[in-house]
Amino acid sequence: MHYPETKLPKVGTTIFSVMSQLAAEHKAVNLSQGFPDFDGPEMIRERVTHYMQSGANQYAPFVGVPPLRQAIADKVARLYGAQVNADTDVTVTSGASEAIYAAISATVRQGDEVIVFDPCYDCYEPAIELNGGICRHVALDLPEFRINWQALEDAITPRTRMIIVNAPHNPSGVSLTREELDKLATLIRDTHILLLGDEVYEHIVFDGQPHNSLLTHEELAKRSFVISSFGKTYHITGWKIGYCVAPKELSAELRKVHQYIAFCTPTPMQLAIADYMNAHPEYENELPAFYQEKRDIFCREIQNSRFDFSPSQGTYFQLADYSQISDLDDVSFARWLTTEAGVAAIPVSVFCEKPSAEMKLVRFCFAKNEDTLKQAGELLCRL
pLDDT digits (tens, 9 = 90+) for 307-357: 999 999 999 999 999 999 999 999 999 999 999 999 999 999 999 998 887
Domain boundary among 279, 307, 341: 279
Domain boundary among 232, 255, 279: 279
CATH of the domain at 366: 3.90.1150.10
Residue 33 is predicted with a pLDDT of 85
Residue 7 is predicted with a pLDDT of 87
Domain boundary among 211, 244, 279: 279
pTM beyond cutoff 0.75: yes
The mean per-residue pLDDT over the stretch 182-208 comes to 97
| 2 in any annotated domain | no
Residue 124 is predicted with a pLDDT of 97
CATH of the domain at 160: 3.40.640.10
Residues 229 and 154 in one domain: yes
| 8 in any annotated domain | no
End-to-end CA separation in angstroms for the chain: 52
Any idea of the CA torsion for 173, 143, 375, 236, to the nearest 10 degrees?
20
Confidence of residue 301 (pLDDT cuts 50, 70, 90): very high
Residues 23 and 110 in one domain: no
Number of domains in the chain: 2
The mean per-residue pLDDT over the stretch 3-32 comes to 86
Q: What distance in Å separates the CA atoms of residue 176 and residue 182, rounded to the nearest whole number?
A: 10
Residue 336 is predicted with a pLDDT of 96
Residue 17 is predicted with a pLDDT of 84
Predicted confidence (pLDDT) per residue in 222-250, tens digit: 999 999 999 999 999 999 999 999 999 99
Residue 371 is predicted with a pLDDT of 96
372: DSSP letter: H
Residues 76 and 149 in one domain: yes
Average pLDDT of the chain, as a whole number? 96
| 6 in any annotated domain | no
Residues 241 and 296 in one domain: no
Residues 67 and 166 in one domain: yes
Domain that holds residue 207: 42-279
Residues 34 and 139 in one domain: no
Predicted confidence (pLDDT) per residue in 120-169, tens digit: 998 999 999 999 999 999 999 999 999 999 999 999 999 999 999 999 99
Residue 2 is predicted with a pLDDT of 80
Residues 252 and 316 in one domain: no
| 153 in any annotated domain | yes
Confidence of residue 20 (pLDDT cuts 50, 70, 90): confident
Q: Do 311 and 293 meet the contact criterion of CB atoms below 8 Å apart? A: no
The mean per-residue pLDDT over the stretch 261-275 comes to 97
Based on its alpha-carbon atoms, the radius of gyration of the chain, rounded to whole angstroms, reads: 21
Residue 356 is predicted with a pLDDT of 81
Confidence of residue 57 (pLDDT cuts 50, 70, 90): very high
CA distances from 153 to 217, 324, 334 (A): 20, 36, 34
Residue 235 is predicted with a pLDDT of 97
Residue 261 is predicted with a pLDDT of 96
Residue 242 is predicted with a pLDDT of 98
Residue 16 is predicted with a pLDDT of 82
Residues 271 and 354 in one domain: no
Residues 34 and 70 in one domain: no
Per-residue H/E/C for 53-99: HCCCCCCCCCCCCHHHHHHHHHHHHHHHCCCCCCCCCEEEECCHHHH
Residues 244 and 267 in one domain: yes
Helix or strand holding residue 289 (H, E): helix 283-301
